[in-house]
Amino acid sequence: MPKVEGRGKERKKRAEEKLVALGAEIIEDIARVVPPRLKIPSRSTSNIVYDEANRYFVLGPHYGVRSAASIKQVKKFAQTMCVADFCKELITSKKFATLREMYYTAEGWESGPFGDQGESDAILEDLEAAFGLKREDLGLTPEEDGAAVYGQLVIKEDDVTIDATKAGRAGYTIPPTIDDVEFVKCKAKRVIAVETMGMYHRLVQEEAWKKFDALIVGLKGQAARATRRFLKRAHDELGLPVYLNCDGDPFGFHIAMVIISGSAKLAYINHELAVPDAKYIGVTASDIVEYELPTDKLRELDIARLKQLQKDPRYNTEFWQGEIKKMLELGKKAEQQAFAKYGLAYVVNKYLPAKLEQVEGQKFLGAG
């Protein structure tokens, strides 16, 4: 899969070139009276493979052919052309649209309206997979904003410069168009991303961003695409280590793992999103014992999920296998906020310094 480097404008330009080339090819075929065809990488489960070298899921070598000469495929072919044209228009007019807006816009297309949004989304994914480009580079954005960021980072959006210590307590919100954002200055030395906004506000309030020279990122549960892209850019462009602090349960583990190794569902675009060097510093089964944390009993769903994770190639390390096994034996889980048992500041004064020392080997004397 060819990697596309660079920020917003360059990426858009690259996307535009690909769209124009696609159109030119089709016109050429038509001029030569050859039925135009598209090669689209297969996104079926059998073509999703874990790439041991890159440490994330990628698409395998299989692809399908969509031909304008096939009665069965011609409508989908036309729809693909219309989606590509819509993307081209968005890029040319420097606009963005949501997937939902595209679905509704299609009411007026020559290819006719889509049956439901699943159909229009799938065609966009075809283009993403074919080009190795994210939908955001094609002008389409998800509805949801990304995480909150607080710390010593200065960024630029269009003509606006924003200091992520001066955007308010709730922090700077990562927009869906994160690749348009320029990193101007960063004094932070690491990223600490936390699962819940409760923990985010705790860390901002206790000035963890200052104590640990860190960008504090509030994930709001499962990380949005924009958040994952932000974390990848912070790691790759700013050279910051990324640490993930989640609840000590299978869902917390997996929030971290999707950031680290990407999801199978987005195998076609994980090279743009995964942060394989990100490290888990969240609650573990060992922590539950060591810190005598308040716990909840594992539900059946938790147990089933933990057993799935045991077999997942992304969890095939000594650390994860050990912690999953231990959690199953304990039969218990614990949340990040459980450290409040020892006082509100404990997580910043004791727990995080201990965790950071484990991963970085240095003491954080400023804390506590």
Applying CB under 8 A, the residues found at the interface with a second copy are 95-98, 100-102, 104-105, 107-108, 113, 141, 143-146, 148, 155, 157-158, 160-162, 165-177, 196-198, 201-202, 205, 294, 335, 337-344
Q: How far is CA 188 from CA 153, 208, 224, 238, 242, in A?
A: 7, 11, 22, 9, 11
Q: Print burial letters for 192-224: b (CB count within 10 Å at least 16), e (below 16).
A: bbbbbbebbbbbbebebbebbbbbbbbbbeebb
In sequence order, the 6+-apart residues with CB closer than 8 A to the CB of 275 are 228, 231, 232, 235, 242, 259, 260
Report the candidate in 213, 197, 214, 202 with the shortest Cα–Cα distance to residue 146. Answer: 197
- Alpha-carbon torsion 37, 39, 43, 46, what sign? positive
Q: Which residue is catalytic, options 50, 104, 342, 346?
A: 104
Shorter beta-carbon distance to a second copy: residue 32 or 95? 95
Q: Is 304 exposed, middle or buried (0-12, 13-18, 19+ CB in 10 A)?
A: exposed
Instruction: State the nearest-atom distance from the C-beta of 189 to a second copy, in Å.
Output: 23
Q: Is 245 exposed, middle or buried (0-12, 13-18, 19+ CB in 10 A)?
A: buried
Rounded to 10 degrees, the C-alpha dihedral 130/136/141/142 comes to 70
Shorter beta-carbon distance to a second copy: residue 132 or 146? 146
Q: Check if 104 is active-site.
A: yes
Report the candidate in 84, 79, 70 with the shortest Cα–Cα distance to residue 36. Answer: 70
Instruction: State the nearest-atom distance from the C-beta of 194 to a second copy, in Å.
Output: 12
Instruction: State the nearest-atom distance from the C-beta of 100 to a second copy, in Å.
Output: 5
End-to-end, the C-alpha distance of the chain in Å comes to 47
Shorter beta-carbon distance to a second copy: residue 174 or 244? 174
Other CB atoms within a 10 A radius of the CB of residue 275 amount to 26
CA 252 to chain centre: 15
Instruction: State the nearest-atom distance from the C-beta of 346 to a second copy, in Å.
Output: 10
Shorter beta-carbon distance to a second copy: residue 44 or 205? 205
Shorter beta-carbon distance to a second copy: residue 42 or 98? 98
121, 114 in Cβ contact below 8 A? no
Instruction: State the nearest-atom distance from the C-beta of 108 to a second copy, in Å.
Output: 6
Shorter beta-carbon distance to a second copy: residue 218 or 241? 218
Instruction: State the nearest-atom distance from the C-beta of 150 to a second copy, in Å.
Output: 11
In sequence order, the 6+-apart residues with CB closer than 8 A to the CB of 7 are 179, 180, 181, 182
Shorter beta-carbon distance to a second copy: residue 306 or 334? 334
- Alpha-carbon torsion 359, 360, 361, 364, what sign? negative
211, 247 in Cβ contact below 8 A? no
Instruction: State the nearest-atom distance from the C-beta of 277 to a second copy, in Å.
Output: 27
- Alpha-carbon torsion 261, 192, 323, 359, what sign? positive
Q: Which residues does the annotation mark as catalytic?
A: 104
